[in-house]
Structure 1
Amino acid sequence: MDKGITWTKGVFDSSYQIFSDGQICGNLIFETWNNHAFGIMSQKNYHFRCKGFSDISTTIYGDNNEELGTITFHLWQFRAIIALKNQTPFTWNYSNSWLSSWNLSNHHDTHMHFRASSGSGTVTGTNLDNELALIAGLYIKEFFSRILVAFIAFVAIMVAVRGI
Structure 2
Amino acid sequence: MSKFINWKSNWLSGNFQLFADGVQKGMITFETWKSNAESMLEDKNYQFVNEGFWQSSTKVIDRKTGGVVAVITYDSWKSKALISLNTGEQYEWKSTGIWKSQWTVSNYKDAHIMYTSGNNSGAISSDTDNNLLIIAGLFIKQVYHKRAVLIIACIVPIISTSTLRHH
TM-score (norm 2): 0.92
Contact 2:44 2:131 survives alignment (8 Å): no
Contact 1:11 1:118 survives alignment (8 Å): no
Q: How does 1:7-156 map to 2 (within 5 A)?
A: 7-53=7-53, 56-63=56-63, 64-127=65-128, 129-156=129-156
The CA distance in 1 between the partners of 2:96 and 2:14, in whole Å, is: 22
TM-score (norm 1): 0.94
Give the number of the structure whose alpha-carbon radius of gyration is greater: 2
Q: CA offset at residue 11 of structure 1?
A: 2.4
Contact 2:102 2:115 survives alignment (8 Å): yes
Q: CA offset at residue 62 of structure 1?
A: 0.9
Contact 1:15 1:29 survives alignment (8 Å): yes
Identity of aligned residues (%): 31
Residue by residue, what CA displacement relative to the aligned partner does 1:95-144 show, whole Å, maximum 9, x if unpaired? 011001001101121101100001100011311x1100000000000000
Structure 1 residue ranges without an equivalent (≥5): none
| Count of residue correspondences | 163
Structure 2 residue ranges without an equivalent (≥5): none
The CA distance in 2 between the partners of 1:11 and 1:54, in whole Å, is: 21
For residue 7 of structure 1, give the secondary structure of its aligned residue in structure 2.
Answer: strand
The CA distance in 1 between the partners of 2:115 and 2:146, in whole Å, is: 18
For residue 13 of structure 1, give the secondary structure of its aligned residue in structure 2.
Answer: coil
Residue by residue, what CA displacement relative to the aligned partner does 1:4-56 show, whole Å, maximum 9, x if unpaired? 11100122221100111211111101111111000012233201000132660
